[in-house]
Amino acid sequence: MSRAYDQLEARFKKASVLGDALSVLQWDMSTMMPDGGAEARAEQLALLKTLAHQAVTGDDMADLLAAAEGESLDDWERANLREMRRDWVHAAAVPADLVDAMAKAESACEMIWRQARPNADFAAVLPSLREILNLTIQAGQAKAQALGVGIYDALLDQYEPDGRSADIDLVFADLESFLPDFIAQALEAQDQRPAPLAPQGPFAIKKQKELGHKVMAALGFDFHRGRQDVSAHPFCGGYPEDVRITTRYNTDDFATALMGVVHESGHALYDFGLPGGKWRYQPVGRARGMQIHESQSLLMEMQACRSRPFLAYAAPLMQDAFGGQGPEWDPENLYRQATRVKRGFIRVDADECTYPAHVIIRYGLEKALIEGRMDLADLPGAWNDGYRRLLGITPPDDRLGCLQDIHWYGGAWGYFPTYTLGAMSAAQLFAAAKQADPAIEPAIGRGDFAPLLAWLRTNVHGLGSSLSTRDLLVKATGKPLDAGVFKAHLTKRYLS
């Protein structure tokens, strides 16, 4: 008879293959599917999610997991068993009919959100969003009981394994006390320097796409295993052999799409580098939670590609793409433009000084909604209050306010804090990489990301989920997450 562990591997491989199919169908829904396909697509997604759920929730799963604990396993197998148990606890806590209902509600709400957002019409999507929130709370309560944690932590654990809001509260309270004065200082220091000159458009989308592909190639994006398209909200999907990234274009500002491409390419590079072979379809072969995943996108976007070395390399590419001439295309001017601090409404367009404030606001709101301390109808007003408090600005409408992100409307609750945790991790990992290999930064100045990618493959990507987030950071950088590294990076870039 085969080991209990081997039987578990077979079941989790089935769930993983179904998950791959789900990912591509969801990508298609966000990029190419005609609106008329929404109802049928919702049925498809619901069925696949139910089948994946059933694959890891059989009546004998508890016995198989217990039996496998007593078998002779190597370190990777034991780490895989740990992640299998985590997946099983999450899946077994939620009944199949609730999984089906959530999948259908999420697909329906996302389609409504696509129409509501450009029209700044929160009222149109409110009933559908309320259904998602109610279903999410039901699932969260079931998972909280199974995990022995609070409801928000149960939802957070889906995206950041072992992440706890008590720890996030401490980190975010520290940042919240730091950010307002720091942002003011950064703006004051910025005002002492000549304002950067903005390259003038229009910038043809075809040329933007060509430039984006050149930068993707420099980063190490594998076009034989990936592609880039357009969506209302940039994202990365697919699976290691078929990674899909998207961006959105603005003919008046090429940098927005370009940095979106860099950000999503960072996610893609992580997926390309995950352990293959025996671990390809196993939980241990997946990315180590969204904190580390976001660190990879923000490392590329904020740490590497808004640096002077990269922009010295990229400036001629930009000039060539758009026929640019004059001082606005000078690398130093482009650097000042890429690192310009501005109190803005849109999270994905935010600079790295104000970006954490966007996340802290969302974290507080979603936590209050999940824990029943705020009614969903009050979300627009509470959102605007948060922006006045932390950024000193008020969104003029809900398009620039609570409708801007797809996450809640697509069913992702408990995700937002991983963005800022990821930004902090990115600063720490990039600093460690440059210290370990001094050739990394000069190579970036030549458009050669191979040294950086090699370090990341060894210290992050190739480890999959074999280590906890904390242990991965300690192994790669010598210490757990340290807010001081992030603050030091911001201070050096924006105040020196």
Q: Of 53, 155, 130, 175, whose CA–CA distance to 427 is shortest? A: 175
Strand, coil or helix: 406 = coil
264 is catalytic: yes
- Residue 41's Cα: distance from chain center in Å? 24
Q: Contact at 8 Å (CB) between 355 and 298?
A: no
| C-alpha–C-alpha distance, residues 155 and 421, integer Å | 16
Give the HSE-up count for residue 421: Cα atoms under 13 Å, Cβ half-sphere: 27
Q: State phi, psi for 82 to the nearest 5 degrees.
A: -60, -45
| C-alpha–C-alpha distance, residues 38 and 36, integer Å | 6
Q: Contact at 8 Å (CB) between 129 and 121?
A: no
| C-alpha–C-alpha distance, residues 194 and 184, integer Å | 17
Stated as kind and residue range, the H or E segment containing 230 is strand 226-230
| C-alpha–C-alpha distance, residues 246 and 226, integer Å | 11
Q: Please give the torsion angle defined by the CA atoms of residues 465, 468, 470 and 472, in that order, rounded to the nearest 10 degrees.
A: -40
| C-alpha–C-alpha distance, residues 263 and 306, integer Å | 11
Query: Of 9, 106, 264, 352, which is the active-site residue?
Result: 264
Q: E strands within 336-431?
A: none
Stated as kind and residue range, the H or E segment containing 239 is strand 236-239
- The amino acid sitting at 360 is I
Q: Contact at 8 Å (CB) between 164 and 156?
A: yes
Strand, coil or helix: 20 = helix
| C-alpha–C-alpha distance, residues 146 and 92, integer Å | 9
Bridge-partner residues for 246, per DSSP?
229
* Residue owning tokens 């299998």: 84
Active site residues: 264
